């Protein structure tokens, strides 16, 4: 199991993302406590759950390849641009490098 570190815009460690080839994964905080899980869903969508498997939101791929993160109320929490490998919040403010959408959704 290879955990990819998650950093904010100041390169501070926020946690780790353990993403598997099938699209599923686990999100950990900086102390390796489980924050949530990502499970592939229908089409271009994935469900995000907390450590107790409560539904927290979803991640959907848009037509241009950008991933959009939604909370449980289907409000946008952020965007991930795979071309630049950067994540932005709902107001397009830079959050950090890498796909931080599961972390953004699970922290809410």
Distance CA 30, CA 13 (A): 7
Tokens found for residue 29: 């905080």
Q: pLDDT: is 33 or 84 the higher one? A: 84
**Do 4 and 85 contact (CB within 8 A), yes or no?**
no
Predicted confidence (pLDDT) at residue 7 exceeds the cutoff of 80 = no
- How do residues 52-61 score in pLDDT, each as one tens digit? 778 889 999 8
pLDDT at 1 over 60: no
* Overall pTM > 0.85: no
Q: Which residue has the higher pLDDT, 53 or 73?
A: 73
């Amino acid at each position: 199991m290879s955990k990819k570190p998650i950093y904010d815009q100041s390169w501070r460690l926020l946690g780790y993302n353990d993403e598997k080839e099938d699209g599923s994964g686990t999100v950990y905080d900086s102390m390796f406590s489980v924050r949530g899980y990502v499970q592939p869903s229908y089409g271009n969508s994935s469900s995000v759950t907390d450590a107790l498997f409560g539904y927290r939101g979803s991640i959907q791929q848009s037509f241009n390849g950008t991933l959009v993160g939604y909370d449980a109320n289907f409000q946008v929490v952020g965007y991930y641009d795979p071309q630049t490998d950067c994540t932005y919040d709902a107001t397009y403010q830079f959050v950090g490098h890498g796909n931080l959408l599961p972390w953004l959704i699970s922290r809410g």
